[in-house]
Amino acid sequence: MSNDRRDFLKKSALLGLVGLGKNLLGEEKLSHLETVSNKIAGTDNAFTLPKLPYAYNALEPFIDAKTMEIHYTKHHQAYVNKLNETPSTNIDYLSSDDVKCSHIDKTTSAVMRNNLGGHFNHSLFWTLLKPNPESKANLPEGKIAKAIEAEFKSFDDLKKEFSEKALKIFGSGWCWLIKTNEGKLKIITTPNQDNPLMNLENEKGKPVLALDVWEHAYYLKYQNKRVDYITGWWNIVNWNKVEELYSQ
Ligand SMILES: [Fe+2]
């Protein structure tokens, strides 16, 4: 069969898939199927940079505008671009990003593991931050506050343990508060762009709080003083989002 004929059949099959999506699944599903079919056909991007929920300077004085702009438009965008350049037969493009992450294991290629992790982790990280320009007290409330007290005795104890673990990460990585399968809260760390959803050696669980401790997240403002970045970050944790993730 000629290459032209093969391409024609492939595109026809994909158009049929999109048509089926419209009839059976409705408009929303259609648009997702179109994205997937475009991805497979190499004409569009399956992964996109999510909209940042605030301006680059909104997190000052704790995270500066330049760091946010570079972190979002260069680093996060690079993970998205690399994912779109790397078609994988092992990834279910129709599944949500957290389900995709749960399919990552030691046999997954490094390029997929690193870039899918990078994309998922940053997408979550942006939602877990909120502006606090007047440096008001920023404390958890509701169910998550009670769960923290039950597991760590007090919020200050959680802060202490989390900050110490984040500070001790050697090189690049992430510190997480996870909800385990037993419903308990636990603090873990992962190297590079790994996360607690992946089938790797770290403890698994649902991430409810995340801190990026790669140097690109803080070096412009804090240089080598990671401890100051962590101390500042507690002021801009979006506890409403943490509560939402914990309660789901
Ligand atoms: Fe980052």
Domain that holds residue 31: 1-42
User: What pLDDT, in 10s, does the model give residues 147-173?
Assistant: 999 999 999 999 999 999 999 999 999
Residue 56 is assigned to a structural domain of this protein: no
CA atoms within 13 A on the CB side of 9: 6
- Taking the alpha carbons at both ends of the chain, their separation in whole angstroms is 51
Give domain status of residue 99, yes or no: yes
Residues 46-62: what's their mean pLDDT? 96
Find tokens 């943490």 and name the residue: 242
Cα-to-centroid distance, 212 and ligand 1 (Å): 6
Rounded mean pLDDT of 16-31?
35
Domains of the chain: total: 2
Whether residue 54 is contained in a domain is answered as no
CA distances from 188 to 52, 56, 73, 113, 227 (A): 26, 28, 28, 19, 17
Centre of ligand 1 from the C-alpha of residue 23, in Å: 41
SS3 content of the chain, % helix, strand, coil (to 5): 55, 10, 35
Convert the pLDDT of each residue in 94-128 to its tens digit.
Answer: 888 889 999 999 999 999 999 999 999 999 999 99
Kindly report whether the global pTM for this prediction surpasses the value 0.85: no
Backbone angles phi, psi at 212, to 5 degrees: -80, 115
Q: 229 C-alpha to center of ligand 1: Å?
A: 13
Least trusted range by pLDDT, from 13-17, 45-49, 82-86, 141-145? 13-17
* CA–centroid distance, residue 58 to ligand 1 (Å): 17
Ligand 1 centroid, distance to 225 Cα (angstroms): 16
